[in-house]
Amino acid sequence: MKRKMILSFAIMAFLFVGLALSGCGSSKKSHKYSDVWSSDAEKHWHACEDKNCTKKTDVAEHTPSDWIVDVEATYGAKGHSHIECTVCGYVLDNKDFDELPAKDVTITYDGSPLSKTYDGTALEFNISDVTVSNGATPTLEWYKVEGETKTKIDNAPIDAGTYSLLIKTSADAEWKEGTLSIDALISKKVGNVNVTKDLNKVYDGQAVVLSNSDIEGNSDDPNYTITWYASSTVDPNYILTEAPKNAGVYTAMVEMTETTNYSGASTTVKFEISKRTLNYAPVFQYGDPTFNITMRHQISNSYSAIDGNSKSTNIVDGDYVLILIKFNDANVGSELINFEIDEAYSSSDNRTDYLNYVLDTEVKPAIVPKKLSNLELTTVYDGTAGRTEFVLTESDGIVNGENVKVNITGSKKWNGLSELKLTLSDGTGDEVISFVEAGDYTNYQLVEKNGCVGKITIAPKALTNLKLQTYNNNTAGRTNFALSTADGIIEGDKVLVNITGTNSQDWWEGEVFDLVLSNADSYPKETISLVENDYSSNYILVETDELVGTIEILPSVTISNVTFKASEGSSFTKGTLTIWEFKITDKMGLEAGDSATIVITVHTGSGKIELSDNNTSFTNKKYIIGSGCYIDLDN
For residue 72, how far is the Cα from the chain centroid?
A: 103
Could you give the CA distance from residue 584 to residue 561 in angstroms, rounded to a whole number? Answer: 13
The pTM of the whole model exceeds 0.75: no
Enclosing H/E stretch for 510: none
The pLDDT assigned to 115 comes to: 96
Low-confidence ranges of the chain (pLDDT < 70): 1-29, 427-429, 473-476, 502-505
Do 451 and 420 form a contact (C-beta atoms < 8 A)? no
Could you give the CA distance from residue 73 to residue 296 in angstroms, rounded to a whole number? Answer: 119
Least Cα distance to 153 among 123, 196, 129, 175 occurs for 123
The pLDDT assigned to 28 comes to: 52
Tens digit of each residue's pLDDT (9 = 90 or more) over 419-463 = 889 999 876 567 899 999 999 999 999 999 988 999 999 999 999
Degrees to nearest 5, angle at CA 65 with 64 and 66:
130
The pLDDT assigned to 417 comes to: 79
The pLDDT assigned to 21 comes to: 45
Could you give the CA distance from residue 484 to residue 493 in angstroms, rounded to a whole number? Answer: 8
The pLDDT assigned to 19 comes to: 44
The pLDDT assigned to 25 comes to: 45
The pLDDT assigned to 383 comes to: 85
The pLDDT assigned to 308 comes to: 73
The pLDDT assigned to 346 comes to: 87
The pLDDT assigned to 374 comes to: 94
The pLDDT assigned to 470 comes to: 84
DSSP letters spanning 391-405: EP-GGGTPPTT---E
Tens digit of each residue's pLDDT (9 = 90 or more) over 100-136 = 999 999 999 999 999 999 999 999 999 999 999 999 9
Query: What letter represents residue 135's amino acid?
Result: G
Report how far apart, in Å, the C-alpha atoms of 579 and of each of 559, 569, 599, 618 are.
19, 10, 7, 13
Report how far apart, in Å, the C-alpha atoms of 324 and of each of 151, 224, 280, 305, 358 are.
77, 46, 11, 18, 13
